[in-house]
Amino acid sequence: MGFIPFLILSILEAIVIVVLLIVYFKRKSSQDRIVKQAELITKGKLNVEDVSTENTDTSNAVMASAFNSIKNNLMTFVEATKVNVVTLSDAISVLSESVETNMKGNEQIADGATNVAIKTAEQLELVKDNLKLIESNNEQMQEIDESMKTIKEILDKTVETSRNGIVNIEDFEKDMNAMASDLNRINEILSKFNNEIKRIGEVGNFIVEISDQLRLLAFNASIEAARAGQAGKGFTVVADEMNVMSGKTRDGMQTINEILAEITGSSRMVNESIANCEETFNRSKDRFSNVNTSFREINESSLGIHDKINDITALFDVMADNSDISKTKAENLYETAQIISENTHEIAAVSQEVAAESSKIGVNTDNLEGMLSGIQGLLKQFNTAIVPTDKLPKKTVKILEMSMLDNDFWYGVRKGALYAQKELEGKDALIEYVPLNVGKDELDGYVVDTIQSAIDRNFDGIILPGFLGGANNELRSAIASGVKVMTYNCDCDKNIKRIACLRPDPHEPGILGAKAAEKKTGGQGNVLMLVGDLSVGVNVERSEGFKMKLKNAKGMKIVDEVTVADNADEVYRTAKAALEKHPETNVVFITNGFPLSVTKAIRDLGKVGKVSLVCFDHNQEIFAEIKAGVIAAAIGQDAFGQGHDPIIWLYNNIVAGDRLDNYIPCRLSVVDRSNVDSLVEA
């Protein structure tokens, strides 16, 4: 063989050896990472990152995936057990109190059974007396019923009499009206008669005047006759006769005037009598009118009383029926009281047996508490998070933690806070968890009031999500007064001198989301970004991490970046509209909550299998959508740890002086189609 072929062969052999060495060391490196993580788990440290499956061969990738699945399942089981410990502990406390109360109650029942028997005997006598009273009442009611019937008959007659009286009075009133008309006519006639008498008087006065003139004429004739002498004797006779006639005329007219005066006086008296009669008659008319009205009122009242009597009679019938029913029930009550009396002694015996069983339940409750202690001891062997210091405080440590409570992530945070609360029992700690389940408009004011309340009550620490920036002034006041402030999930304003922030690496969640999008599309696809409120730092950081990672992926294209409100309905409407606008979309990436609103939009548009979602947070509904192929991947940010760890970190800092890093990282995990089936349900 020549030199050159030998050299070539040697070079090829060297290349093969180098490749084999590279493969060996890569495999060994992957295996070493798995072994290292396994060693940590054997020491109870479950809070470790997943072993990466990138740049590894198939066997190591399978082994790493299996290791990650086992580790995540164990983590899920331990954290679920922690939550169940809280639930079980509370249930045991309630059961213990119930058992104690039940035992006391049974003792009271046993003691009271004798009293019940005595009172039951007294009740029997009372029931007997009551039956007698019911019988007596029935007799009285029958008598009252008969009396009411008699009254009804009398009222019927009274109503009829009143009706007849009204008819008679109306007829009499008509007659009186006719008499009044007649009296008026008589009065008018008398008035005319008086006027005629006055005219006669006037004629008489005229005659008297003529008579006086005749007498004066006779006197003058006598004088003239005397002067005439013998020739005037005839005139003297005539003059004398005229004097006589004038005197008689005057006397006659005086008599007539006297008669007319008497007639006028009588007429005046008649007029006065008629006027008095008319006045009396008018008063009588008014009185008869009042009588008529009274008769009508009596008639109406009688009719009303008649109706009421009918109603009372009907009520008496009902009362009689009820009395019969009451009597029947009283008899049943008497029989029941006899049965109760007979069974009271049995109740006392059963109460004693129940008390004995309650005592057994109490023993079992103690066994449950022992089992719970054993579970808690077992959990302590697995370190999924920071654990409380063994030191005890000199005074009660008071820590307040706030969180939102509007989606599954925050419910996970709440579970972690409640477990920390349970974990610090017996360590002289007061842990207060405050859910911020108020509307967006009321949120800032509610946070301000909560912080001020913590300051007023001399709390040692306040923990809250960093995006709650509406209470910065109150946070500064709290820090100035010596309260330690810690944030989680994302950081607060840089001017707030908080002690630490527990959160994911700022850009890592977005980078993991970009990797999941690349994996789903094979590095060739169109991405629609749905970005939450940019005033919330976590939305900015996730968006920046996502775009930073995709920047080097030449086959991936961001078709649009749309802002969405943090509201389920708004997320649905925005996602649906954006997908309709960009039908070429393969993957949707959302930075905020409500991923199921996006999956609903995908389903409603008939794009299942064509469009997948990359989102955040883990729950069983999201896992179901991953299995269905609607969600490509979901990035978890250890919601339980974000609720639990800040409380323990801050407690340890206050009690033991443990140093806190400026940023404390929380664990991230990705669930996709490759590992969702191996997850246990929490």
- pLDDT averaged per 10 residues in sequence order, the chain, 682 residues: 50 55 53 60 58 56 59 60 63 64 63 64 66 68 70 69 68 66 68 69 69 71 72 69 71 73 70 69 66 66 67 67 67 66 61 58 58 53 73 96 89 92 93 92 93 96 92 94 95 92 92 95 95 89 94 92 93 97 97 94 96 93 95 93 95 96 91 80 52
Separation between Cα atoms, residue 47 and residue 228, nearest integer Å? 185
Has residue 671 been placed in a domain?
no
Q: Which of 570, 630, 566, 633 is nearest to 604 (CA)?
A: 630
531 forms bridges with which residues in the sheet?
A: 563
Q: What is the Cα gyration radius of the chain? A: 61
Does one domain contain both 306 and 177?
A: yes
Residues 175 and 289 occupy one common structural domain: yes
In a domain? residue 73 = no
Query: In terms of C-beta density within 10 A (0-12 exposed, 13-18 middle, 19 or more buried), how is residue 658 classed?
Result: middle
Find out whether 675 and 68 touch, Cβ atoms under 8 Å: yes
Domain boundary (344, 362, 383) is at: 383
369 and 285 in a common domain: yes
Q: Compute the distance between CA of residue 449 and CA of residue 471 in angstroms, rounded to an integer.
A: 9
Same-domain status, 343 and 415: no
525 and 560 share a domain? yes
- The set of residues, in sequence order, having a beta carbon less than 8 Å from that of 288 and lying 6+ positions away, is 169, 172, 173, 176
pLDDT at residue 157 in the model = 72
Are 266 and 142 within one domain?
A: yes
Per-residue tokens: 370: 């022992």
Please check whether residue 561 lies inside any domain of the structure.
yes
SS percent in the chain: helix, strand, coil, step 5: 70, 10, 20
CA distance 672 to 679: 11
**Domain-embedded: residue 7:** no
Q: Report how far apart, in Å, the C-alpha atoms of 618 and of each of 173, 498, 583 are.
A: 102, 29, 28
Domain that holds residue 334: 78-383
Same-domain status, 428 and 407 = yes
For residue 309, which of 162, 160, 140, 146 has the smallest C-alpha distance?
A: 146
**Domain-located, residue 16:** no
Strands (E) across 360-512 are located at 397-403, 429-435, 461-465, 484-488, 500-503
For residues 117-152, one letter each, b for 16 or more C-beta atoms within 10 angstroms of the residue's C-beta and e for the rest, the string is bebbeebbeebeebbeebeeeeeeeeeeeeeeeeee
Same domain, 500 and 526: no
Residues 371, 337 share a domain: yes
Residue with tokens 């991405």: 527
Opening angle at CA 45, ends 42 and 46, nearest 5: 100
Whether residues 323 and 449 fall in one domain:
no
322 in the same domain as 254? yes
- pLDDT for the residue numbered 545: 95
* 187 lies in some domain: yes
Residue 237 has a pLDDT of 72
Strand partners, 634: 615, 671
Distance CA 190, CA 662 (A): 131
Q: Are residues 499 and 510 in the same domain?
A: no
Cα 498 → chain centroid: 40
* CATH code where residue 588 lies: 3.40.50.2300
| 633: phi then psi, degrees, rounded to nearest 5 | -160, 150
Instruction: Give the model's pLDDT for residue 68.
Output: 61
CA angle 516, 521, 522 (to 5 degrees): 95
Domains of the chain: total: 3
Which of helix, strand or coil describes residue 681?
coil
- pTM exceeding the 0.85 threshold for the entire prediction: no
**Are 388 and 648 within 8 A, CB to CB?**
yes
Instruction: Give me the pLDDT at residue 285, please.
Output: 64
Contacts of 126 (CB under 8 A, 6+ apart): none
Indicate which CATH number applies to the domain containing 289: 1.10.287.950
Q: Are 514 and 546 in contact (CB under 8 A)?
A: yes
